[in-house]
C-alpha cells in the first residue's frame, strides 16, 4: 500500500507540493456504501488544505483498495489546487448544484474515477515489469 501511495503521489503532485502535504491512510470496517473517503485534517498558514486522511474499506480486496487510494488521492490534489472546495459544491470556481447532479456526473468524481483507474493500471504495469513478469503470455 505504501509503495502505491508513493507512486501515485509522484504522479499527481509536484515535488514542491509533495513536501508540504501529509496524507494518512487508514482502513475502516464500516464505511457504509463507500469504498473510501478523504477528509481535510488541517490547513497551512494561508488557509490551504495540506493535511488529509484517506479512509479505505477494510474488507475490500487489495486491488480495490489500490484503485480507491488512487481515486481519493486525486481528490487530495483537487483540494490542494483549490479546484474543489471542502463543502463539495464548487468546482474550478463554478457553483455546482449537487442536489440535482448524480454522484457519477459530478466533475470532480469523473476526474477522480478516470485518473484513479489510470494510476492503478500504470502502477500495476510498473510493478509487473519491475518484478520481471510480462503481461503477455506469448513469448
Residue 17 to residues 46, 88, 132: CA-CA distances in angstroms? 14, 22, 32
Mean predicted lDDT score pLDDT of the chain: 93
Q: Where residue 10 falls among pLDDT bands split at 50, 70, 90?
A: very high
The pTM (predicted TM-score) of the whole model is: 0.90
Under CATH, to which class is 2-124 assigned? mainly alpha
Average pLDDT over residues 63-72: 98
Looking at residue 129, its pLDDT comes to 81
- pLDDT tens digits, 80-139: 999 999 999 999 999 999 999 999 999 999 999 999 999 999 999 998 887 765 544 443
Looking at residue 135, what is its pLDDT?
47
> Are the C-beta atoms of 67 and 116 separated by less than 8 Å?
yes
Give the pLDDT score at 130.
76
Domain limits of the chain?
Answer: 2-124
Reduce the DSSP state of residue 20 to 3 states and report it: coil
Amino acid at each position: 500500500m505504501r509503495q502505491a501511495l508513493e507512486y501515485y503521489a509522484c504522479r499527481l503532485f509536484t515535488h514542491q507540493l509533495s513536501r508540504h502535504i501529509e496524507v494518512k491512510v487508514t482502513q475502516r470496517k464500516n464505511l457504509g456504501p463507500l469504498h473510501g473517503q478523504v477528509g481535510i485534517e488541517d490547513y497551512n498558514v494561508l488557509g490551504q488544505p495540506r493535511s488529509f486522511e484517506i479512509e479505505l474499506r477494510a474488507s475490500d480486496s487489495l486491488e480495490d483498495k489500490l484503485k480507491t487510494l488512487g481515486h481519493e488521492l486525486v481528490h487530495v490534489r483537487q483540494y490542494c489546487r483549490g479546484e474543489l472546495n471542502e463543502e463539495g459544491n464548487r468546482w474550478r470556481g463554478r457553483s455546482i448544484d449537487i442536489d440535482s447532479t448524480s454522484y457519477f456526473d459530478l466533475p470532480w468524481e469523473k476526474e477522480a474515477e478516470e485518473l484513479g483507474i489510470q494510476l492503478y493500471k500504470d502502477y500495476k504495469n510498473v510493478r509487473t515489469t519491475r518484478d520481471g513478469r510480462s503481461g503477455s503470455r506469448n513469448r
